[in-house]
Amino acid sequence: MNTYMQQAYSKPMEEHRMESTKEENGIVLDFLPNGYPMDERPMYMKTPIAQAIGKEHFVLLELVPKKGIHLQPYEEVYIGEGKRDKIHHIVGKLPMSKLTRTAQSEMEFAVKDIVEKSAKKFIDFFNNAKPLSTRMHQIELLPGVGKKHMWEIINARDEKPFDSFDDIKKRVKLMPDPEKIIIKRIVEELEGTEKHMLFVDV
């Protein structure tokens, strides 16, 4: 067993993910002012619905806005424990399969925007990712990244921590676009096809 992997794996370790807290802010993916079309209840019983994605943990959420509030795609809304200006309550988490077509088409763009604006968080992943087992490293879970890239990343970060996506591209030869592979990994986790969750809280 490689010494690095043996030493890292011998220590108690939880899978790397963002600090687990409730979402404070969400990005609206779709707004249905008359509720879901398949809802056969009388109109007076229906409530407006917003489908959104959390900015911190990428949780897909169903929200009910306050009366008279109309939301726009990509609008940021506060959904934390404090006083909410636009959201009345959170219905709950949404599986990817229940997103509207509009929400599905907008989701990747929203993820890209979140990653770009929170780049440091994902640079920290490259700097701090650890082995999952003696045979598999968290870095290898990224799309298009194999053991060769994994060792190049580890060796480069041991010399000096990365400070940007561009820094990773410059110092790791033939590295796929690190920002794009982070976005792709997040989308795959949202689709429910991944066993290990690196960035999405479910």
Q: Are 181 and 145 in contact (CB under 8 A)?
A: yes
Q: Are 95 and 61 in contact (CB under 8 A)?
A: no
Residue 41, pLDDT score: 75
71-92 as b/e: b if 16+ CB within 10 A:
bebeeebebeeeebebbeebee
Closest C-alpha among 9, 10, 77 to residue 48: 77
Closest C-alpha among 101, 22, 91, 104 to residue 61: 91
Contacts of 130 (CB under 8 A, 6+ apart): 8, 13, 16, 137, 138
Q: Which CATH number fits domain 25-100: 3.40.605.10, 3.40.640.10, 3.40.50.300, 2.40.50.140?
A: 2.40.50.140
Task: Indicate the average pLDDT of the chain.
Answer: 88
Residue 193, pLDDT score: 83
Top CATH class, 118-190: mainly alpha
What does pTM read for this prediction?
0.83
Give tens-digit pLDDT for 107-142.
999 999 999 999 999 999 999 999 998 889 999 999
Which residue has tokens 């949780």?
A: 59
Which residue has tokens 């925007």?
A: 113
pLDDT higher than threshold 70 for residue 15 = no
Residue 6, pLDDT score: 47
Residue 185, pLDDT score: 96
Give tens-digit pLDDT for 19-35.
445 899 999 999 999 98
Q: Are 189 and 142 in contact (CB under 8 A)?
A: no
pLDDT band at 44 (very low <50, low <70, confident <90, very high): low
Q: Where are the domains of the chain?
A: 25-100, 118-190
Q: How far apart are CA 151 and CA 131, in angstroms?
A: 12
Percent residues over pLDDT 90 in the chain: 74
Residue 18, pLDDT score: 38
Give tens-digit pLDDT for 179-188.
999 999 999 9
Contacts of 121 (CB under 8 A, 6+ apart): 18
Residue 45 vs residue 92, higher pLDDT: 92
